[in-house]
Amino acid sequence: MHSGWAPHNSGLNPARRRGRVPPTAPSRTSMTKHLVVIVSYNNAAYIGDTIACIRNQVETDWRCTIVDNGSTDDTSKVAQQHIANDARFQFLQKTNEGPSAGRNLGFRRSPPSDYVTFLDGDDLLAPTFLQRLGGYLDAHPACGLVTCQFDRMTAAGEHMDGGFRSRIVPGFLSIPRQMKDSETVTPFVTFFASTGQGHFATFRHSVLARTTLYEESYWSHEDSDIFCQMCLLAEVHALPDKLYRRREHGRNLTMSGRSNYGEFRRKWDFYERGHPEAAGVVVPARRYYYRVHKPLRDFKVALMTLKILVRKPTMHGLKWMLQLVREGVTGLLVGERSIKPY
């Protein structure tokens, strides 16, 4: 797989179109280049491996802050044993108010750095993660955030198929299409449509500091939200390389069914009401999402539901399929007019 390191001007990026001044990289004095914030909750079985993957980075100019989100197992004890006498690490402990609050605390309580990466306490970074993403940001000063692809693994660390970060944009006749690897600049509409989630990324500290940080009430869709914020301030680029390893097990938060999708939509559907300077980006994204993206997605899920119903018919499934069809038709007919300001 090629690196995709040359930026591609697809004409879709709002920061480039509106002539924003590129973020300035901090001077290389005594500032740490990379900050890694690990947020962990009941990860005693995995936190040692997660800490080890930071120590094993090819890039050596880093500091790491571990935030324990009120674990009820031995995560705190195990983590502190692994980082004892290593001044590159600091350990913070708090009550469990969700991953967003933990990430924000780690960011605020850490010394300034050039770049910031957030890592879950049961996941792993490839040894070249900091080197590759940091090097990319070094070479692309207009970029405020660079993402990568990811691998999936079992609780035991065994490889699983299926890891892929989607990046959907309007294509010919506004039909949704997957972006090519060579199209490195990811536009606002991708994250507004809530695709391309997952915190497999590195932030430019100076740009992240200008956002409101993670929405602390969000236990899901927090990545879509912060990526939308970053898109309004700088370019967001994507590398096709799989440099993040996501562990999947029964306690994964994103697999728990706790969703903040409704809150995400309420915030961003009419975001320009409180931020008129963003209207030129938000309004077209909303129009595309409700006129095309969501209706086609509804029809796709309805078809998938129909296939399941053929094998195993249920009244609940039938009602769900009919609801999806109704919403899809409504979207095609009236688009964004079907929603009202919250």
Q: What is the pLDDT of residues 123-143, one digit of tens each?
A: 999 999 999 999 999 999 999
**Mean pLDDT of the region 77-83:** 96
The residue type of 115 is Y
What the block records as the tokens of 274 is 């409180």
Mean pLDDT for the chain overall: 88
- Using alpha carbons, select from 163, 168, 191, 152 the residue that is nearest to residue 292: 168
- For residues 60 and 88, the answer to whether their CB atoms sit within 8 Å is no
CA torsion sign for 22, 23, 29, 32 is: negative
DSSP state, residue 72: S
3 state DSSP class of 25: coil
pLDDT of 25: 44
Confidence class for position 337, pLDDT limits 50, 70, 90: confident
Q: Of the given ranges (50-64, 242-256, 270-284), which has the lowest mean pLDDT? A: 242-256
Pairing of β 143-153 and β 159-160:
antiparallel
Quick check: 244 pLDDT over 50? yes
- Using alpha carbons, select from 241, 236, 174, 173 the residue that is nearest to residue 208: 236
